[in-house]
Structure 1
Amino acid sequence: MSLPSARPLPVKVAALTAGAALALVTAFAGTSSAATGAEVTPLTDACSIAGTGDPHTCAQAVTWAKNHITTTYHAEYYNACDHIVGLAYGFPHSGSVTAIAHWRAIPGSFKHAGDRSVPAGGLAFFSTSSSGHVMISIGSGEFVSNDIHGNGTYTKTTIGEIESKWGASYLGWAQPWFQYNH
């Protein structure tokens, strides 16, 4: 019995950044396009810490966010969205001075501009009249965000609520990449 010859992958791995190459290898792990004859597409719509060096996984960050939901005022949550997502991923802070600075610092291979299908653990970014906004997805179109239901609170919300209540423009979502460790 002869095995089918392997076909080259439709992506030039040498041209990818180290983080993107790791994500690509992870997406292809355990899959053989040569054996099935099917083209394999990298999984880019799931939250992943591949290539980020984050201390917490996406699932751990979601658990952290859910466990910190509060409707009472907490001074450390007021006007601190970017700081909060850093905490969820195990950092003492995000490393960026604002949410919009965080979005701009994230390499393009980690961003999904305009994509509203944010996986659990993904970070949703907005442009506002001030410093921007970021919140964490907990899945199924739900997010946890600070200040939307009162200053210093940390509650469930949606992309649409942030847009309509604050007049924010949705930028897209990103894998949990932080300036703190890059």
Structure 2
Amino acid sequence: MQWEHYVDVGLAHPGDSEPPPGALVFWDTDPFGHVAVYLGDGEVVTNDLYDAVTGRHGGVYLAPMSDLSGGYWNLPYLGWAPPVYG
């Protein structure tokens, strides 16, 4: 899982619920995990989150971060890491 790589190289911020805009935010889902991009003001860009509601497959959505950590999904939040390019 990508999260484990960020932890191994010291770039992860485990449990930190205040990511900066542009950060990758991670949740624990078996077996692969889930990652979204934090936009700021509690909002993320994520995929698949509302597919069951919309009937789409592979949709990309603007959503409150709290929709993943609580409510219907209630995914365990792992933390955030900066994007790495290159």
Counterpart of 2:76? 169
Alignment of 1:1-182 (within 5 A): 101-106=1-6, 107-108=9-10, 110-150=11-51, 151-163=57-69, 164-177=71-84, 181=86
For residues 81 and 35 of structure 2, the distance between their equivalents in structure 1, rounded to whole angstroms, comes to 10
Shift of 1:139: 1.1
For residues 41 and 19 of structure 2, the distance between their equivalents in structure 1, rounded to whole angstroms, comes to 8
Cα shift readout 1:74-112 (whole Å, capped 9, x = no counterpart): xxxxxxxxxxxxxxxxxxxxxxxxxxx11111121x211
Residue ranges of structure 1 left out of the alignment (5+ in a row) = 1-100
Shift of 1:133: 0.2
User: Is contact 1:118–1:141 with CA below 8 Å preserved after alignment?
Assistant: no
Cα shift readout 1:139-164 (whole Å, capped 9, x = no counterpart): 11111000111131111112221123
What is the identity percentage for the equivalent residue pairs of Structure 1 and Structure 2? 35
Shift of 1:119: 1.2
Larger-Rg structure? 1
Equivalent position amino acid for 1:120 in 2: P
CA RMSD of aligned residues (A): 1.5
For residues 20 and 74 of structure 2, the distance between their equivalents in structure 1, rounded to whole angstroms, comes to 23
Residue ranges of structure 2 left out of the alignment (5+ in a row) = 52-56
User: Is contact 1:128–1:167 with CA below 8 Å preserved after alignment?
Assistant: no
Shift of 1:130: 2.5
Higher relative contact order (CA 8 A, sep 6+): 2
User: Is contact 2:42–2:66 with CA below 8 Å preserved after alignment?
Assistant: no
Larger strand proportion, structure 1 or 2?
A: 2
